Amino acid sequence: MKKSVKKMALLLGILMTLSAFAACSGQAAPTSTAPGTDNTSAGQPSETAPEYVFKYSATCPPTGTQADGANRMGELIKEHTDGRVVMEFYPSSQLGDKIPSMEGLRAGTIEMTECAATDLSNYSSIWTVFSLPYLFDSGEQAIAVINDPEVRAITDADAAEQGFVILSWWNFGERSILNTKRPVKTPEDLKGIRVRVMENQLLADTLNAMGASATVMAWSEVYTALQQKTIDGLENSAPVITANKMHEVAKYLSFTEQFIIPDPVFMSKKVYDGMPEDLQKAVLEAGEAMQKEWNENIWPPAVEKELQTMKDAGVQMNDVDKDAFKAAVQPVIESFLKNADEKQKKLYETIVKVREKY
């Protein structure tokens, strides 16, 4: 009798477990709980489950201008798709640094990311063109040129070949040199200063030509490297510098403005191609709306605000002899064009021609 009771209790326990499992497996896709995101109102669950949940992988911190942009992008995607698509924001390289994230997009395991245009040179040579120094006069001009139909036709087609769909182009301003040693006004002032650059040979060649000692390093390692004096400086724009607290450990910002590299925000073509046409259109529209929002309403005031943040923190700022730096890097540009392939030459020539309009 006791054995029968035990068997009945065991059977009842198994049935209850199976019932609970079945209930859980029928739940809606969860809204984001990643740091920096808020895809639903507090305490208010979504009325219907989203059809797609996009993971947005980023190397930026969970707060700051880039995070603000990512979160706004999520809001616009939800609005334009009537909640059928939601976006989860994963900052601080939670899903991997840039290359692993882009590989995730190609595989369809990550839906969205944002990076510098030059990062795409890991997949296609044409993107190296954006590594050329002094290619644009300003970030605003860069965005205007890159969104011109002639240029966009080339970049969109190549991105698609690599497995990406570009949704937005964001102005990330003019990249200048922040260092721990001294103010920089001429190429001679950069001698002996080790400056971190992205993983791109042309960027490294440019910094070396400018007089610095270029050091290729992942962005996530830079703050510690500055603290430990493994490097002496970096090059980037003010909002990126302050969001990552670099101004805490380096106090000289010189407006060399050698690189102006916009960031594409893009998604997995594999995921995009699997979506119904109405959602494809809605996501593209959200990207277009975000491009306007970022370039007109988010980025310009952020630059002004974060330059003031740096001044308040004691960072010394100075203009430079830009003509001297342009002359120093001219051999790098000439060498690149001499050895460029046909696709690179076509993109470069198109940019130079279109640039005259802006």
pTM of the model: 0.83
**What's residue 47's pLDDT?**
62
Average pLDDT of every residue of the chain: 89
**What's residue 2's pLDDT?**
40
Is the pLDDT reported for residue 180 higher than 60? yes
Quick: pLDDT tens for 332-350.
999 999 999 999 999 999 9
Rounded to an integer, the average pLDDT of 272-301 is: 98
Contacts of 198 (CB under 8 A, 6+ apart): 116, 118, 119, 216, 219
For 172, 225, 249, 271, 299, the CA distances from 311, given in Å and listed in that order, are: 20, 23, 14, 44, 18
**What's residue 199's pLDDT?**
85
**What's residue 269's pLDDT?**
98
**What's residue 185's pLDDT?**
98
For 218, 250, 299, 353, the CA distances from 223, given in Å and listed in that order, are: 10, 9, 23, 39
Is the pLDDT reported for residue 268 higher than 80? yes
Which residue would you say has higher pLDDT here, 16 or 195?
A: 195
Rounded to an integer, the average pLDDT of 60-75 is: 96
- What is the percent of the chain with per-residue pLDDT over 90, rounded to a whole number? 85
Quick: pLDDT tens for 79-93.
999 999 999 999 999
Q: Identify the helix (H) or strand (E) that includes residue 178.
A: strand 175-179
Is the pLDDT reported for residue 68 higher than 70? yes
Which residue would you say has higher pLDDT here, 1 or 223?
A: 223
Which residue would you say has higher pLDDT here, 175 or 3?
A: 175
